Amino acid sequence: MAKILVTGGSGFIGRHLSHELVNHGYQVKIYDALIDQVHQGGSVTLDDATELVRADIRDRAALDQALEDVDGVIHLAAEVGVGQSMYEIARYVGANDLGTAVLLEAMIGRNINKLVVASSMSVYGEGRYEDREGRHVSSARRRPGDIAAGDWEVRAADGEALRPVATDETKPVDLASIYALTKYAQERQALIFGEAYGVETVALRLFNVFGMGQALSNPYTGVLANFASRLATGEAPLIFEDGEQRRDFVHVGDVATAFRLALETSGIGGEVINIGSGRAYRVADVATLLAEAMERSDIRPEILGKVRKGDIRNCFADISKAQSLLGFAPECFLEDGLDEFTAWVRSVAVVDNASQMRHELESRGLVS
């Protein structure tokens, strides 16, 4: 029975992934610092075939011990949050980039044959766009002057509004936040390491992950969890810009499956692969759908008309590479998974910290 070390394995994705691996015959060792922002007290429930090492990802001695008897590594451990990364820079770089470096050094010389690292759609910056002639525009960015004037759209040099299209892995990286920078560094460190040391390594670029078990009281977690925590406490979801921005929402169960498939598929060393639903959703529509599912249609989202530094306008996934290389096929789409999600929200205690998050960003000039 193969044993897999899952760093960050007690987090939202990690718990679902660990359960997925156990159900498919793996032994799982979880390595997690159990930080309060995510875990609120540090308690964790484990599957029978799972053990826990509680330690920081930068703790070389703990990593040496944890890696002694494992066959593969799935690296999820990371600080997560575009907004927070813009002012807690040392924290994000330390955990994400230095932490990955310490892990990779600890793996040198061991009999580990597979490494799967969690990357992020944030590395793309803006997604792909097309002009009126249907030509791809790969390096599109919003202009500061347009944003200052309340024009949120991505435009060509002549002022034409560009049309967002699905983003594939050939789209050049364009880092718009410290978080994105750290995720790209994690990805590249792992792939360089894998090539140098003969460890088959693949990076999965995750889009917006949703599902049961998200940290509802962590305002820097996924947008769906933020909206749910607001609605559960009778408050309006806060939407930056105008709500027309588009994102791809992928169910955590499908993400767990994707990691297992990447672990089990041979011949994919050096690849980066999008993991999303392949569908685009307007953020304002997501807030409305969630309010209906939570029976709070009386609460309309608050459209702030402001932009957060580091945010992008549109990015949604082309998942054809995941389909062809991994046999990945999403099974639970956003509109299908909201009943399960909202039932779980009703069953847990929720503390809404979105106002605190907004204050933290505004006080630092990161909202305009």
Task: Please count the structural domains in the chain.
Answer: 2
Average pLDDT on 263-280 reads: 98
**What's the DSSP call for residue 124?**
G
From 24-38, 158-172, 288-302, the region with the lowest mean pLDDT: 24-38
Residue 147 domain boundaries:
129-165
Whether residue 190 contacts residue 13, with contact meaning beta carbons closer than 8 Å, is answered with: no
**Which backbone phi and psi does 136 adopt, to 5 degrees?**
-65, 140
Q: Which positions are catalytic?
A: 179
Do 60 and 154 belong to one domain?
no
Do 97 and 193 belong to one domain?
yes
Phi-psi map region of 276: left, alpha, beta (phi>0 left; psi -120 to 50 alpha): beta
pLDDT at 171 exceeding the cut of 80? yes
Phi-psi map region of 365: left, alpha, beta (phi>0 left; psi -120 to 50 alpha): left
Distances (CA, A) of 122 to 55, 167, 178: 27, 12, 10
Do 207 and 269 belong to one domain?
yes
Do 52 and 139 belong to one domain?
no
Residues 79-136 have pLDDT tens digits of: 998 889 999 999 999 999 999 999 999 999 999 999 999 999 999 999 999 999 999 8
Cα–Cα distance measured from residue 129 to residue 135, given in angstroms and rounded to the nearest whole number: 8
pTM of the model: 0.94
Cα–Cα distance measured from residue 65 to residue 135, given in angstroms and rounded to the nearest whole number: 52
Q: Which of 119, 143, 165 is the last residue of a domain?
A: 165
